[in-house]
């Protein structure tokens, strides 16, 4: 098992290097000269040749690609993502707090998603084909089919405006979390609980379940074995939901005015603020790699057959 963990971490590290290189390269492939963007962003109307060269020197843009990449990479390791072209502030000073805010929302939502998916998945699998199963699947189908911004608007109108129970927007207390978490959970758990359900169902028909029953094991003991094997799916869901939600909270953050990554990244993209975009993409990519590695490790701990797969 420890060999597996080491191998998996080496693999994750290699992936990170490749991702950072690609991120850096793509931004550099943009047809716009960053120096021009900087000058425009700072509101200078006349971009003369000399001014551009000066700016290139100032930001180190005249050096070769790999030198700039190494420089940028080393700085990133120290959370120094450079300065924003627009505000001239260090990128991390705005991106950091936004990341923390989004991460909090994501973490709470992922936990809610996992609990709801597992509970509904297990209930539906045990009641397969019966009323409970059909009702839950029907409701989940309708809810996931609704666009999340529309659902959010409906809920704000009902719970915040009409009943005045919850805040309409912002991030003030734990009560601010309730609506956004609810909406994110609805849009993801409705899909993920099906995975748990089908995984439970396929495990319930396995030979080891029959042999367990034929050996006279209690139903609760047999059920624990089924759960143990089915929950690997739930763990993968949980770990992969975190980066996916991190990257897709844009809509929800805008509806609820959540001071997070989503709104920040949109602004950066619209104003072509390259350092901020680079940092944003990199952070998302890193979180994908990290949570993917964590999910693999937990699964390998639970399913020994996977350990030889690397």
Partner 1 sequence: MNILEVEQLSIWDQHSGKALVHDSSFQLRKGSCLAIVGESGSGKSLTCRALTRLNPKSLAQSGKIVFKGIDLTTLSEAEIRQKRGKEIAMIMQNGMSAFDPSCVVGVHFRETLGQHLGWKRRVADDHMIKAMERVMLQKPVELLRKYPHELSGGMLQRMMIALAIVLEPDLIIADEPTTALDTISQYEVIQQFLLLRQTIGSSMIFVSHDLGVVRQIADEVLIMRSGEIVERGTTHHIFTNAQHEYTRYLMATRATLSDHFRQLMEGS
User: Which residues lie near partner 1 (CB under 8 A)?
Assistant: 206-208, 210-218, 221, 225, 228-229, 232, 302-305
Report the nearest approach of partner 1 to the CB of residue 233 (Å): 13
If the CB atoms of residues 147 and 304 are measured against partner 1, the closer one turns out to be: 304
Report the nearest approach of partner 1 to the CB of residue 234 (Å): 14
Report the nearest approach of partner 1 to the CB of residue 6 (Å): 21
If the CB atoms of residues 164 and 219 are measured against partner 1, the closer one turns out to be: 219
Pair 170, 176: CB distance under 8 Å? yes
Report the nearest approach of partner 1 to the CB of residue 32 (Å): 53
Report the nearest approach of partner 1 to the CB of residue 207 (Å): 4
Q: Supply the angle between the helices 91-126 and 261-270 in degrees, to the nearest 10.
A: 130
If the CB atoms of residues 3 and 29 are measured against partner 1, the closer one turns out to be: 3
If the CB atoms of residues 79 and 221 are measured against partner 1, the closer one turns out to be: 221
Pair 37, 274: CB distance under 8 Å? yes
If the CB atoms of residues 93 and 303 are measured against partner 1, the closer one turns out to be: 303
Report the nearest approach of partner 1 to the CB of residue 189 (Å): 25
If the CB atoms of residues 78 and 205 are measured against partner 1, the closer one turns out to be: 205
């Amino acid at each position: 098992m420890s060999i597996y963990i080491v191998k998996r971490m080496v693999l994750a590290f290699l992936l990170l290097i490749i991702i950072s290189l690609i991120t850096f390269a793509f931004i550099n492939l943009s047809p716009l000269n960053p120096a021009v963007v900087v000058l425009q962003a700072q509101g200078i109307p006349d971009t003369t040749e000399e001014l551009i060269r000066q700016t290139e020197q100032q930001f180190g843009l005249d050096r070769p690609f790999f030198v700039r990449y190494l420089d940028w990479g080393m700085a990133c390791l120290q959370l120094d993502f450079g300065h924003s072209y627009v505000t001239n502030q260090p990128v991390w000073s705005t991106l950091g707090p936004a990341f923390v805010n989004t991460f909090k929302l994501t973490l709470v939502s992922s936990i809610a998603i996992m609990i709801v998916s597992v509970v509904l998945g297990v209930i539906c699998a045990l009641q397969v084909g019966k009323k409970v199963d059909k009702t839950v699947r029907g409701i989940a189908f309708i809810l996931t089919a609704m666009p999340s911004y529309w659902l959010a608007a409906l809920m704000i109108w009902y719970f915040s405006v009409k009943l005045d129970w919850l805040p309409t927007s912002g991030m003030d207390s734990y009560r601010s979390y309730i609506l956004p978490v609810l909406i994110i959970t609805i849009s993801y758990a409705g899909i993920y609980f099906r995975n748990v359900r089908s995984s439970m169902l396929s495990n319930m028909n396995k030979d080891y379940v029959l042999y367990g029953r034929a050996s006279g094991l209690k139903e609760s003991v047999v059920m624990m074995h089924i759960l143990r094997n089915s929950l690997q799916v739930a763990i993968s869901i949980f770990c992969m939901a975190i980066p996916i939600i991190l990257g897709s909270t844009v809509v929800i953050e805008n509806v609820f005015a959540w001071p997070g990554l989503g709104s920040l990244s949109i602004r950066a993209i619209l104003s072509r603020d390259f350092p901020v975009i680079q940092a944003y993409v990199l952070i998302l990519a890193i979180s994908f790699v990290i949570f993917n590695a964590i999910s693999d490790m937990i699964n390998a701990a639970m399913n020994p057959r996977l350990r030889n797969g690397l």
